[in-house]
Amino acid sequence: MSNEAPSPATLAGPSPGSGVNGDVSRETRRKVVTASFIGNFVEWFDYAVYGYLAATISSVFFPEADRQAALLATFGVFAVSFFVRPLGGFVWGHIGDRLGRRKALSLSIVIMSVSTFCIALIPGYASIGMMAPVLLLLIRIVQGFSAAGEYAGASAFLVEYAPANKRGLYAAVVPASTAAGLLLGSLIAALLSTVLTPEELHEWGWRLPFLLAAPMGLIGRYIRTKLEDTPAFQALAAEDHTVKTPVLAMFRTYRKQLIIATGAVLLNAVGFYVILSYMPTYLSEELGFGAAESFLATTIALASYIGFIFLTGIASDRFGRKRMLITASLLFIVLTVPAFMLLDTGNFLVIVLVQILLGAMLTLNDGTLPSFLAELFPTRVRYTGFAVSFNLSNALFGGTAPFMATLLIGLTQSKVAPGWYLVAASIVSLVAVLFASETSRKPLRQE
């Protein structure tokens, strides 16, 4: 099974489009795919580096009298930054549905890159005391606000440009680019852990990935500003059918879709941050593996995840969004706890295989969810509906997942506790998706 992503040319054609998308050229679609991938990649590399370096960051920004307390505080800051994301969802949704997808995406990447760069400049707790974690928290809140518009906007952008029968494949670019950002973060963290001593990593090494944010963000913004807005949004704007207050329109007319979407996102929210972000810390802090081994295992799993994501996008176009999402939930309900038990065997090969399995299961949800959510809402509130549901679920359960996993292990003294948390999230997502209608074979709603 190949882990190589499809080329932009493969994504671009030759399948026919429909509606306002019918006359979009292959070259334009290639540019859209490339810009969406790179922009989302930059945003999520910036956002994910914090999770991969959590153990080091906890020792820099918090007193180390209690190691688990410092780690909890670090993940607490990680979680608090998510609480602003629903607000960001409202703001970015309004901009995206009122003024255009491109405008929202071009602005969000600048905010993310600047705030991430600023993390590298904060002095540690030893230098400025409690001001260090306070400044860290403030910058993480800005990051959370920026990230709130990225995933939803990129998904809506791709779905609205995609041929009718390839919307799942196109939308899969978003989680694939997210994983690619995580992959680079994992590789850099593994490299730093290998070539630097613990003292060097603590003193200055951890700052290096954050310094990359500024140049990467400028490249991403430049590419995005060279694109036109989507045909669907341009058609809406040309007829002056954009909504002045998309949030009110969403709550007034699309409450059912909003509830279903928020529930469906729950598995993605918890699974993504437990399996792809928290796992290196879990392996090193809870299971006693070395930092380099922990990052290597996660890096291998992420590489396979990217390939599985595109296969899931293709499968969701063929078999439907609902069937794929239900299958993902059922697999997590049955296999998650046994998988976490196998992680505790101490065998590195087993750990890598388990992480690949968990990642593959997660792609059944993650590779389907962007197209499902984008198709669930009509064009005039698509950005808002996606952003609010996605960020509300991530704020309540995604950002808190590393914190909850660490807390549950401490309370239960069981290393399998994060697995049960994933099972609970899977059950909620399953119930939500059962109430949804199939969206893959219907034209995008424009009203």
CATH number for position 400:
1.20.1250.20
Residue 223 lies in a domain: yes
Of residues 277, 423, 293, the one with CA closest to residue 361: 423
Positive or negative, the Cα torsion across 298, 300, 305, 310? positive
pLDDT tier for residue 133 given thresholds of 50, 70 and 90: confident
In a domain, 3, yes or no: no
List, in sequence order, the alpha helices (H) in 279-400.
Answer: 279-281, 291-319, 321-343, 348-366, 369-376, 382-393
Q: How many domains does the chain have?
A: 1
pLDDT tens for each residue of 221-249: 887 787 888 888 888 888 777 888 889 99
- Given pLDDT bands bounded at 50, 70 and 90, which one contains residue 447? low
C-alpha–C-alpha distance, residues 379 and 96, integer Å: 10
Asked, for residue 129, whether it belongs to a domain, the answer is: yes
**What pLDDT is attached to residue 416?**
87
pLDDT above 70: percentage of residues in the chain: 91
Split at pLDDT 50, 70, 90, the class of 423 is: very high
| Structure token digits, residue 207 | 């700052």
Is residue 283, in this structure, part of any structural domain at all?
Answer: yes
Check residue 378 and give its pLDDT: 93
Whether 51 has a pLDDT exceeding 90, the answer reads no
Residue 221 neighbours by CB distance under 10 Å: 18
Q: Where in the sequence is the domain holding 234, given as residue range(s)?
A: 25-434
In a domain, 243, yes or no: yes
Structural domain includes residue 18: no
The pLDDT of residue 188: 84
> In the 8-state DSSP scheme, what is residue 155?
H
Is the pLDDT at 395 greater than 70? The verdict is: yes
Give the DSSP letter of residue 240.
Answer: T
Query: Tell me: the pLDDT tens digits for 281-336?
Result: 777 777 777 777 777 787 788 888 888 999 999 999 999 999 999 999 999 999 99
Helices (H) and strands (E) in the chain, counts: 24, 0
H-helix or E-strand spanning residue 52: helix 26-52
For residue 16, tell me if it sits in a domain. no
Average pLDDT over residues 192-206: 86
Please report the pLDDT score of residue 77 as a whole number. Answer: 74
- Mapped onto helix, strand or coil, the DSSP state of residue 347 is coil
Cα separation of 426 and 424, whole Å?
A: 5
Residue 90 has pLDDT above 50, yes or no: yes
pTM score of the predicted model: 0.82
CA distance 225 to 216: 15
Which amino acid is it at 119? I
DSSP state of 243: -
Lowest mean pLDDT among 2-6, 236-240, 266-270: 2-6
Virtual torsion, Cα 211, 215, 219, 220, nearest 10 deg: 20
- Look at 54-58, 135-139, 158-162, 422-426 and tell me which has the smallest mean pLDDT: 54-58
| Mean residue pLDDT across the chain | 84
pLDDT at 65: 59
Residue 16: predicted pLDDT: 36
On whether residue 297 sits in a domain, the answer given is yes
What's the pLDDT score for residue 375? 95
